[in-house]
Amino acid sequence: MITLALSKGRIFDDTLPLLASAGVEMLDDPQTSRKLILATSRPDLRVVLVRATDVPTYVEYGGADLGITGKDVLLEYGGSGFYQPLDLGIAKCRISVAVRKDFDYAQAVKKGSRLRVATKYVDIAREFFAKKGVHVDLIKLYGSMELAPLTGLADAIVDLVSTGNTLKANDLIEVEPIMEISSRLIVNRAAMKLKHEKIQPLIDAFNTSVSQSASNT
Ligand code: ATP
Ligand code: PRP
């Protein structure tokens, strides 16, 4: 049996075409089912649904052989407890700094004043501002980051941006991109050796599908 860890939502949805390219269809639908272990058309392949931030933990410790998760999650998780053979080019977005429209970010950064930054991505934010020589007080949040500058909790946020609609709807502006994000395939180290004949063809099929999508854009 091969176990693939996915999170519900965009990663699950964007993975379906990749699985289809490997000849795999889902037999259960997370929209209508409360099951956490989902069967596929391949009796030796199942999908487990976990929180996005838990995917690396499942793969590192063998709760899953494979996983798909964002580069943002992998950078915050840290370590090298698994292989990362493929950038799948799905769930694309960027991590950026955003502030209220009336906040003078350029001036705050130039003056060397301390910036209060709220984010789920404390390691990424710490490294980014340290490289710029900006002093920051980091405030860890787990969601709804956009609220922090609006309520006075922070001067700035470091969060994911895709269309920019969420920032716009909350009267915030993106002032500095930090890095581009997409989702990666990760593989348990032991499984890569012990289940190589089953895992390698999946990696190859995903790779072919990713290359085809890239050449079509
Ligand atoms: P958790 O369940 O742990 O709270 P989450 O709510 O961030 O995680 P998702 O919103 O499904 O989970 O995001 C999963 C991944 O998709 C993120 O880690 C990121 O790589 C990517 N992502 C997040 N937001 C966007 C977006 N607006 N557009 C494109 N990709 C995104
Ligand atoms: C993510 C992210 C932003 C939003 C950005 O949230 O945290 O809030 O997407 O996307 P946009 O630029 O296209 O508006 P998500 O939709 O995943 O909701 P969440 O708060 O449940 O993570």
Q: What is the pLDDT of residue 110?
A: 85
Which residue has the CA at smallest separation from atom 20 of ligand 1? 70
Judged by average pLDDT, the poorest of 104-118, 121-135, 195-209 is 104-118
Whether residue 205 is predicted with pLDDT greater than 80 in this model: the reply is yes
- Provide CATH 3.40.190.10 ranges for the chain: 2-91+182-215, 93-181
Residue 215 in this model has a pLDDT that exceeds 90: no
64 φ/ψ angles, rounded to the nearest 5 degrees: -145, 150
What superfamily in CATH does domain 93-181 come from? Periplasmic binding protein-like II (3.40.190.10)
Region 70-94: mean pLDDT is 96
pLDDT(217) > 90? no
Q: 56-72: per-residue pLDDT in tens?
A: 999 999 999 999 999 99
Task: Name which residue sits closest to atom 26 of ligand 1, judged by CA.
Answer: 162
Ligand lying closest to the C-alpha of residue 93? 1
CA of 160 to the centre of ligand 1 (A): 8
Q: Using a 6 Å cutoff on CB, does residue 38 contact ligand 1?
A: no
Distance CA 78, CA 80 (A): 7
Tokens of 134: 């900006």
Separation of 182 CA from ligand 1 center, angstroms? Answer: 10
Residue 213 is predicted with a pLDDT of 86
Nearest residue (by CA) to ligand 1, atom 18, is: 70
Q: Which long-range contacts (CB under 8 A, 24 or more apart) does 133-141 make?
A: 134/109
Q: C-alpha distances in angstroms, 23 versus 71, 202, 205?
A: 26, 10, 9
Q: What is the pLDDT of residue 54?
A: 98
Distance 206 CA to ligand 2 centre (A): 26
Q: Which residues are CB-neighbours of 182 under 8 A, at least 6 positions away?
A: 70, 71, 87, 88, 89, 90, 91, 92
β-strand partners of 157 = 98, 118
DSSP letters spanning 94-161: EEEEEEETT--HHHHHHHT--EEEEES-HHHHHHHHHHHT--EEEEE-SS-TTHHHHHTS-SEEEEEE
What is the band of 176 on the pLDDT scale with cuts at 50, 70, 90?
A: very high
**181 touches ligand 1 (CB under 6 Å):** yes
* Phi, psi (deg, nearest 5) at residue 126: -60, -45
Nearest CA to ligand 2 atom 8: 166
Using an 8 Å Cβ cutoff, are 105 and 129 in contact?
no
Which of 8, 69, 162, 183 is the best mutation target for the ligand 2 pocket, counting ligand atoms within 8 Å of the beta carbon and taking the most?
162
**pLDDT tens for residues 133-172?**
999 999 999 999 999 999 999 999 999 999 999 999 999 9
Per-residue confidence (pLDDT) for residue 197, from 0 to 100: 97
Average pLDDT taken over every residue of the chain:
96
What is the DSSP secondary structure assignment for residue 5, as one 8-state letter? E
Give the closest ligand to the alpha carbon of residue 51. Answer: 1
Domain 2-91+182-215: which CATH number of 3.40.190.10, 3.40.1410.10, 3.90.580.10, 3.30.56.10: 3.40.190.10
- Is residue 113's pLDDT more than 80? no
Mean pLDDT of 121-137: 95
**For the CA of 50, the nearest ligand:** 1
On whether the CB atoms of residues 17 and 25 are closer than 8 A, the answer is: no
Q: Report how far ligand 2's centroid is from the alpha carbon of 144 (Å).
A: 8
Q: pLDDT over 70 for what percent of the chain?
A: 100
174 and 61 Cβ atoms separated by less than 8 Å: no
Pocket flag, ligand 1, residue 159 (CB < 6 Å): no
Confidence class for position 214, pLDDT limits 50, 70, 90: confident
CA atoms of 46 and 25, how far apart (whole Å): 11
pTM, 2 dp: 0.95
pLDDT surpassing 80 at residue 112: no
At what angle are helices 10-21 and 196-216 packed, to 10 degrees?
100
pLDDT of residue 175: 98
